Amino acid sequence: MPPAPPARTRRTPRRAALTAGVCGLALLLLAATALSLAVGSGDVSAHDLVHGILDPDRSVRGQLVVQEVRIPRTLAGLLAGVALGLAGTVMQGVTRNPLADPGLLGINAGAAVAVVFAMSVLSLTEPGQYIWFGFLGACLAAALVYGVASFGREGATPVKLALAGAAATALLVSVTDTILLTDSHTYDQFRFWQVGALDGRDTDVLLQALPFVLAGGVLALGLGPRLNGLALGDDVARALGQRVAVARLAGAASTVLLCGAATAVAGPLAFVGLAVPHAVRMFTGPDHRWILPCSALLAPVLLLVADVVGRVVAPPGEVQVGVVTAAIGCVPFILLVRSRGKAAL
């Protein structure tokens, strides 16, 4: 009987398939980026598109639209998409909760309170003025939740994180609602920010958010092996030599950086960080070393395509990207439920 082939040889076809999948997602991201630059409610020719990117003439309307509107909008989608895709994957891995998203740790609720405070108390009206309050609020809320969950001998376990996040979210939402009920002007401003959007973002804001996305992204991508260990349970992870508390703290730090930057750029976009990791797992399996980069590629594809759909689905107006992502993002869950249901049968 011939000897069995070595383990590396057996894994080669699987690794090749995953590598090909990553390359395919990268090409899909390039196509979505081109689509975001080319398609919109305004009429822009191919000539104006190319020159608007490479050598814009601001006296030509089409090139001005590309330079001032579509490029910042596309960059905002790329930054927010990468951040949300990685943050959702890390959060689900750290908490071992398949329904984890930025709302789980009170991040969205903290950002909302800070933005409402900036609008109501400080009378800020421009997105470039108040979005960084959203970033600060997201960071403080996540720090509060993690600090509360860390009390006790076992530290910040997944169950304690979920409970602390739910309690903090309920408290912060009540504060937000109290302010909005007494200030109709702030409510008119806040309701557009709360849905989430990519339009109207200044390039300076994107450049300020970029270092946070880069820092959080590098930290998240390095957590792949640790997340694989946490998925086996805390005791097994410790037996494998991992420092569980350090891994969870690093995951929380990367999530705060990524979610805070995404909130600053696009508002509290829902469903992207929740749906994308599930869609990726249908192809990659449970290995976070592959889930993380694939999520970082697929999430901006979802966000950019949703933004393009929102631009053209209701002319001459637009549908906010947060509404479209919620409609598109439900598809992976429907497929997941169907596949799990068949497996159960």
- Please indicate, yes or no, whether the overall pTM of this predicted structure exceeds 0.75: yes
pLDDT given for residue 299 in this prediction: 92
The mean pLDDT value for 292-313 works out to: 90
CB atoms within 10 A of CB 92: 25
Better-scored residue on pLDDT, 340 or 208: 208
Residue 23 maps to a domain: no
Non-local (6+) Cβ contacts of 2 within 8 A are none
Residue type, 76: A
pLDDT of residue 18: 83
Mean pLDDT for 192-198 is 77
H or E element: which one contains 19? helix 7-38
Read off the pLDDT of each residue in 255-276 and give the average, rounded to a whole number. 83
Q: Does a structural domain hold residue 10?
A: no
Answer whether residue 324 is part of any domain.
yes
Kindly report the average pLDDT of the chain as a whole number. Answer: 81
The answer to whether position 235 is within a domain reads: yes
Other CB atoms within 10 Å distance of the CB of residue 175: 14
Considering the domain boundaries, does residue 251 fall inside one? yes
Q: What is the pLDDT of residue 79?
A: 93
> What average pLDDT does range 278-306 have in this prediction?
90
Please report, rounded to a whole number, the percentage of residues in the chain having pLDDT higher than 90.
Answer: 15
Whether the per-residue pLDDT at 49 is higher than 60: the answer is yes
Report pLDDT for 9: 47
Range of the domain at 169: 35-344
pLDDT tens column, 128-169? 677 778 778 888 888 888 888 877 776 667 778 778 888 888
Identify the band that residue 344 occupies on the pLDDT scale cut at 50, 70 and 90: very low
Q: Residue 26 domain-assigned?
A: no
What are 70-111's pLDDT values in tens digits? 888 899 999 999 999 999 999 888 888 777 777 777 888 888
| pLDDT surpasses 70 at 333 | no
Is the confidence at residue 1, as pLDDT, over 50?
no
User: What does the pLDDT read at residue 214?
Assistant: 93
Mean pLDDT value across residues 299-323? 85
Q: What's the confidence (pLDDT) of residue 290? A: 92
Number of independent structural domains in the chain: 1
pLDDT tens digits along 247-264: 888 888 898 888 888 887
Which pLDDT belongs to residue 4? 52
Over 80: is that where the pLDDT of 217 sits? yes
pLDDT surpasses 90 at 28: yes
Mean of pLDDT values over 204-228: 89
Q: Is 166 exposed, middle or buried (0-12, 13-18, 19+ CB in 10 A)?
A: middle
Burial code (b: 16+ CB inside 10 Å, e: under 16) for 145-155 equals: bbebbbeeeeb
Taking the C-alpha atoms of residue 248 and residue 197, their distance in angstroms, rounded to an integer, is 30
Residue 336: the pLDDT is 65
Q: Residues 314-336, buried b or exposed e (16+ Cβ, 10 A)?
A: eeeebbbbbbbbbebbeebeeeb
Q: State the pLDDT at residue 304.
A: 92
Instruction: Name every residue whose Cβ is closer than 8 Å to that of residue 208 and which is 6 or more positions away in sequence.
Output: 132, 264
Tokens of 14: 């699987």
Greater confidence, 177 or 45? 177
pLDDT band at 181 (very low <50, low <70, confident <90, very high): confident
The answer to whether residue 6 is domain-embedded is no
Which CATH number do you get for residue 324?
A: 1.10.3470.10
Q: Residue 113 domain-assigned?
A: yes
Q: What is the pLDDT of residue 345?
A: 39
Q: Is 325 helix (H, G, I), strand (E, B) or coil?
A: helix
